Chains A and B, each alone.
Chain A
């Protein structure tokens, strides 16, 4: 099975170290990801779609039209997955929409039939859970993980068609199988607040502050995410909140791929952990996790 890799904008152009761990674990699992030239922004379902739905559909369909691997598309970003699945959904639901979008695409010599399958990387990982278990060399003992599913990994369920929209299990299962503990916490299913930053920064901070408070109370010692928007929201705002409110947040934020890579025996140096704002090294020391 080969997947076309849809990188999107945020990970490759701002957080490339998250791409490193993601590529490494798929290679280790023997799942081939093919790089494709010529993609544009997915476009952002919380940005471009909100200002121009038609352009969002058209550029999304153009991206999908570039794919031909037998596994379809895989993406490391929940936003890209929501867009690409959403475009498929809209085109397949309404022939008029499909025709209109294809009329645009034809002007640049392209066409799209709505048939490319789209998968979130965490879905592919869950579907390969047995293989993941086989590759765990260093169980993540002492990791008390607050899992943040994020919104677009799950909803709208009619479009995403993966896991339960309010009581999901897939990420918990993966994390547990790495030897880590998944810590339940209040507000686990709440939005991180990142999309609303574009309109109201204070409101966005309030949402992430509420989540971090709940995580602190739960006794978790780190957070895991599967979306670069959520990642930035958790990683970049803890210090700002500490300054503003005298709080003491210092949770290392891991991408799911980073946790898996650690369990597979990769070392922080080759995963670019030095680029994290909140360094995971402190956590490793406190739980005697030798890397």
Chain B
């Protein structure tokens, strides 16, 4: 059963009022390279419809359609005749999935690396040697204490350390 959660709907609307302009014309899905080849598993129009209806459980718990299949190509945003900021709304939904520890492992790996190293891909010894051989300069990345202090303030630390289900 689908339950309407008004608080969730209002939260999305408050975050991005453009949601209310959607009239479900499906231009987004028609221009979406993922919708084209996933046979209903991913469908931007449907995600927006569920957001308008406040179907929190479907969007966050069951992830149907799966918002993580968006390739962030931004075609839908560009094409929408109503200027609905679809990818911003998808980002909010995925952020809520993250807070509920329901998200793909690869995002955890990247998030954890940035938390541990300040960068998504730390410099391996082999790369440091290769850079030297290629005549490239030594790059000093961000002081990790500073990055972790910011991540603590934004609550990222708490969420990333809980991992994903």
A positions within 8 Å CB-CB of B: 7, 9-10, 12-14, 16-17, 19-20, 23, 35, 37-41, 43-55, 58-59, 62, 104-105, 107-108, 151-152, 155-157, 165-166, 190-191, 193, 195-200, 203, 206-207, 272
- Contact assessment for A9 and B119 in the assembled complex, using a CB-CB cutoff below 8 Å: yes
Docked pose: A125 CA to B75 CA in angstroms: 25
Whether A203 contacts B38 in the complex (CB less than 8 A), given A35-B137, A43-B120, comes out as yes
Beta-carbon contacts of B109-124 to A below 8 Å, as 1s and 0s? Answer: 0110010001111111
| Residue B136 at the chain A interface, CB threshold 8 Å | yes
Across the interface, which residues of A come within 8 angstroms of B73, CB to CB? 151, 155, 190-191, 195
Across the interface, which residues of A come within 8 angstroms of B146, CB to CB? 62, 108
Given contacts A151-B73, A156-B74, 11 further A-B contacts (CB under 8 A): A10-B121, A13-B127, A41-B118, A52-B98, A58-B150, A62-B150, A107-B153, A191-B73, A198-B107, A200-B68, A206-B37
> What bracket does the count of chain B residues touching chain A fall in?
35 or more
Docked pose: A46 CA to B94 CA in angstroms: 11
Across the interface, which residues of A come within 8 angstroms of B103, CB to CB? 51
- Contact assessment for A20 and B71 in the assembled complex, using a CB-CB cutoff below 8 Å: no
Which of B33, B107, B150 is close to A51, meaning CB atoms less than 8 Å apart? Answer: B107
- Contact assessment for B71 and A196 in the assembled complex, using a CB-CB cutoff below 8 Å: yes
| Most chain B CB neighbours (cut-off 10 Å) among A41, A46, A62, A155 | A41
Docked pose: A199 CA to B111 CA in angstroms: 14
Across the interface, which residues of A come within 8 angstroms of B159, CB to CB? 51-52
- Contact assessment for A44 and B142 in the assembled complex, using a CB-CB cutoff below 8 Å: no
| Residue B156 at the chain A interface, CB threshold 8 Å | yes
| Residue B26 at the chain A interface, CB threshold 8 Å | no
